[in-house]
Structure 1
Amino acid sequence: MRVLFSVSPWPTHYASMVPLSWALQASGHEVRVLCAPSQTGPVTRAGLQPVPVLDGMDVAVHNRMSYVREALRGDWPYPWPPLHPVTGAVMDSLDDFDLAQYRRTAEPEYARRAAQGHDRAVRFARRWRPELVVHDPVSTEGQLVAHVLGVPAVLALWGPVGTHEAHGPELIPEDLSRSFERYGCGPFGADSIEYVIDPCPEALEPPVQACRLPVRFIPYNGGGLAPDWLDQPARGVRVAVTWSTALTSMSGPDSFILPRIVTALADLDAEVVLTATRDDVAALGAVPPSVRVLERCPLGPLLAHSDLVLHHGGAGSAMTALAAGVPQLAVTFAAEQARIAERVQEAGAGRHLPGHLASREAIRSAAEALLSRPDYRRTAWQLSEDNLRRPSPVRLVDRLVRLARGGPGPAAAQRCLATNSRMEAVM
């Protein structure tokens, strides 16, 4: 079977899809990955074959634009305005962004580039003839290709945010290029999605209205060297801190609170291990003796012997912590990350601090509570066990093969839902 993946220009968006790609290839299936040219390196390093033809709006612009829309609706919770969507510059107020001018100038250019990427994707797919398409929520090209070719399309969620959230965040992007209409496929949106791969245990299950294909979350954190001492249990309590690779570029300088986090945790009776990008590490300056700093350390080995992880609410961090059975403290600066943190908190495996409320005292107090109360550890471990009981990517491959043979459409979706019910009955 030939399976075409379609991914956004943001590597962490499709990291959760890499184990499934490996499982497909190990089972003898052919895999190709539609991507932007900027993702050729990351896709290749993951052991996959890139098809670098996509174009369109940069993910940072997309996210900043969604923050501006939140602010215009009155849903932006922070005391500072969002960044300028196009330039990333700090704004004094929303008046610094001319929405009408954006729609006249920048938006048509993004639409033109997206249309080119969609057209290239369709041309490649018509040549290669995939039998199944798997795409992340931001990559609309996957849905388009599947509709044009008449094959099943499966959206792969990267964490506990679904396609049908009651109040934001905006997971599914708008089809600015109107490519779905150009190809006679009708408008694209969340309601057009028929199948969703969901890596979340039931306690964190996000809302979707499609046929849900459950899978076990297996961390893929990219490359990087982990020091030998990470393979050994910590001598005492270990607190891991991991931060976004690009949070400042999307949420602004007020979101760079790593120095505050380090100060808040430094006096705990614990070893603090921080992993961040080179720029963020350099901006930290000198750190207390109780803090170890690792540049871009893979998160999986770090969390294997940690008692708590503090992160920014990203899906990769939250799901890797969930798989490791580690309580979480999430300090968030955007709606999607806040929703993830809220679901972890509601499940009883962590706490959520909105970024503008994350004082040193609040961070330290939350960390102390998470470390001192065993119920957080028990719940986190239970979620890890729940994750292990979910179907592995290898088992999901078998279901995808059956889906491809059955074809897309409501009848196949009903068969999928019936299979889900049978699986739940025996689990």
Structure 2
Amino acid sequence: MRQPMKILFIPGNSPYPIFSHTPLATAARNAGHQVFMGGIDWVLPNIASVGLPAVKISPVSMEEVSAFMGAMPEDPAEQLKAVGRVYAEIAVDSLDRLLDLADHWRPDLVVGGGMFYTAPLLADHLGIPSVRLEWDRIDSRAYDPGAEPVLAPVLAELGLDKVPAPDLWLDVCPPSLRPEDAVPAKLMRWVPGNPQKPLEPWMYTKGDRPRVYITAGTRLFSGEGLRDMARSVGKLGAEVVVGAPEAVAAELREEVPEVRVGWVPLDVLAPTCDVIIHHGGGGTDMTALNAGVPQLIAHPEYPTTATRRIVEYGAAALVESGGYEEINAACESLLKDPSYRVRAQAVSREMAQLPPAHEIVGDLERLVAERA
């Protein structure tokens, strides 16, 4: 092995990117390299929960994220711009903190997430290689128009006309679901990661009824929609499990006592599910594909071509609008038509054949050696 490296991971501004980057960060650490992971204040406990050193790059809190989500524009294009803008603002705000970190712990390599703005700016300042590791199947270039006006002054100071391209682009999207205009990238196997808790037998045991898992992701601050959907889907005769942060789950348990509610380790639960219903989040989507489980994307948080691609492939159904009758009808179709599971399992086998994270560590080592 070459000399141990110092690698800084900067995945993104919510919990899911942390878990998406954890396999590669852990593989690098297991290979003997020093690894730090940076994040906004909200996600620092998530970084610590996966056993990695957590570095605060911005004081943005959960309350501020909640306020931002609550003020999100209704127009889909404006939503993308709003998200791109806030990621760019955090990138600019975090640069001084990261440069201070480099005075004491200078990275040899920086790995950034899908909205890649912090990592390449820091890498350019330090003259080190950068890697872009996508979180999921979503093409994050759609957020760039919102980021560009914020980044323009910083890029001008650096003498750049655009965000520097990464030295290595890593993509976890299964080949069958990659868009035709996808950026050339090295593919890496995606491994599910999420908060863990002591397991109960029902979490990994298949029952005698179809199991439907419902979630709205990690950025959930109200459980009203989950409550109503759980009651509706329960009418299909399915066992319903609702995944929600504990602050939301506590209230839901009282309102729907017949439903299992809580933050269940989805990597454990997914193989026992017959359908996974969610909001279009990348982590849930990838976990369902990894387990070969059909999914129903209901009222997606952000409309994306990635969502439509999996529907066209035949491994998912989409309900963009409409009420619980439409959702129930789509869910029932997924439960009764075996073709959805056949297609989902085909993607699962494809994902399993991609290079695992520990093989990618050698690529990181070569980048640093070549730059040296």
TM-score between the two structures when normalised by the length of structure 1: 0.75
Partner of 1:407: 371
Give the 3-state SS of the residue equivalent to 1:280 in structure 2. Answer: helix
Rounded to whole Å, the distance in 2 between the matches of 1:211 and 1:129 is 29
Counterpart mapping for 1:194-209 below 5 A: 194-206=167-179
Partner of 1:226: 199
Partner of 1:307: 274
Q: Is the 8 A contact 1:162 1:171 kept in 2?
A: no
In the TM superposition, residue 247 of structure 1 has moved relative to its aligned partner by: 4.2
Cα 1:209/1:328, change in 2 over 3 Å: closer
Give the 3-state SS of the residue equivalent to 2:155 in structure 1. Answer: helix
Q: Name which of 276, 286, 295 aligns with 1:319.
A: 286
Rounded to whole Å, the distance in 2 between the matches of 1:175 and 1:27 is 40
* Residue type at the aligned position of 2:287: T
Partner of 2:307: 341
In the TM superposition, residue 2 of structure 1 has moved relative to its aligned partner by: 1.6
In the TM superposition, residue 283 of structure 1 has moved relative to its aligned partner by: 4.6
Q: Is residue 280 from structure 1 mapped to residue 248 from structure 2 by the alignment? A: yes
Partner of 2:345: 381
Unaligned runs of 5+ in 2: none
* Residue type at the aligned position of 1:181: L
* Residue type at the aligned position of 1:273: V
Deviations 1:201-230 (A, max 9, x none): 012225776541211110111232332222
Give the 3-state SS of the residue equivalent to 1:304 in structure 2. Answer: helix
* Residue type at the aligned position of 2:330: A
Cα 1:158/1:149, change in 2 over 3 Å: same
Rounded to whole Å, the distance in 2 between the matches of 1:207 and 1:382 is 20
* Residue type at the aligned position of 1:143: P
Q: Is the 8 A contact 2:212 2:239 kept in 1?
A: yes
Counterpart mapping for 1:234-273 below 5 A: 234-247=207-220, 256-273=224-241
Partner of 2:335: 371
Rounded to whole Å, the distance in 2 between the matches of 1:24 and 1:179 is 34
Q: Name which of 32, 44, 47 aligns with 2:48.
A: 44
Rounded to whole Å, the distance in 2 between the matches of 1:280 and 1:172 is 31
Q: Is the 8 A contact 2:215 2:226 kept in 1?
A: no
Q: Is residue 173 from structure 1 mapped to residue 150 from structure 2 by the alignment? A: no
Give the 3-state SS of the residue equivalent to 1:21 in structure 2. Answer: helix
Q: Name which of 120, 143, 160 aligns with 1:186.
A: 160
* Residue type at the aligned position of 2:256: V
Cα 1:172/1:199, change in 2 over 3 Å: farther
Q: How many residues align?
A: 361
In the TM superposition, residue 126 of structure 1 has moved relative to its aligned partner by: 4.4
Partner of 1:123: 100
In the TM superposition, residue 153 of structure 1 has moved relative to its aligned partner by: 1.1
Deviations 1:304-325 (A, max 9, x none): 2111111111001000111111
Q: Is the 8 A contact 1:275 1:294 kept in 2?
A: yes
Rounded to whole Å, the distance in 2 between the matches of 1:48 and 1:54 is 18
Rounded to whole Å, the distance in 2 between the matches of 1:275 and 1:325 is 19
Counterpart mapping for 1:152-167 below 5 A: 152-164=129-141
Give the 3-state SS of the residue equivalent to 2:58 in structure 1. Answer: coil
In the TM superposition, residue 75 of structure 1 has moved relative to its aligned partner by: 4.8
Cα 1:266/1:288, change in 2 over 3 Å: farther
Cα 1:156/1:55, change in 2 over 3 Å: farther
Cα 1:75/1:187, change in 2 over 3 Å: same
Give the 3-state SS of the residue equivalent to 1:186 in structure 2. Answer: coil
Partner of 1:90: none
Counterpart mapping for 1:54-93 below 5 A: 54-55=58-59, 59=65, 67-68=72-73, 71=75, 75=77
Cα 1:130/1:288, change in 2 over 3 Å: closer
* Residue type at the aligned position of 2:130: A
Rounded to whole Å, the distance in 2 between the matches of 1:28 and 1:36 is 26
Q: Is the 8 A contact 1:13 1:136 kept in 2?
A: yes
RMSD value, Cα: 3.2
Cα 1:117/1:300, change in 2 over 3 Å: same
Give the 3-state SS of the residue equivalent to 1:176 in structure 2. Answer: helix
* Residue type at the aligned position of 1:351: A
Unaligned runs of 5+ in 1: 77-81, 87-106, 409-427
* Residue type at the aligned position of 1:360: Y
Q: Is the 8 A contact 2:15 2:218 kept in 1?
A: no
Q: Percent identity?
A: 27
Counterpart mapping for 1:206-217 below 5 A: 206=179, 210-217=183-190
Rounded to whole Å, the distance in 2 between the matches of 1:204 and 1:54 is 34
In the TM superposition, residue 150 of structure 1 has moved relative to its aligned partner by: 1.9
In the TM superposition, residue 194 of structure 1 has moved relative to its aligned partner by: 4.9
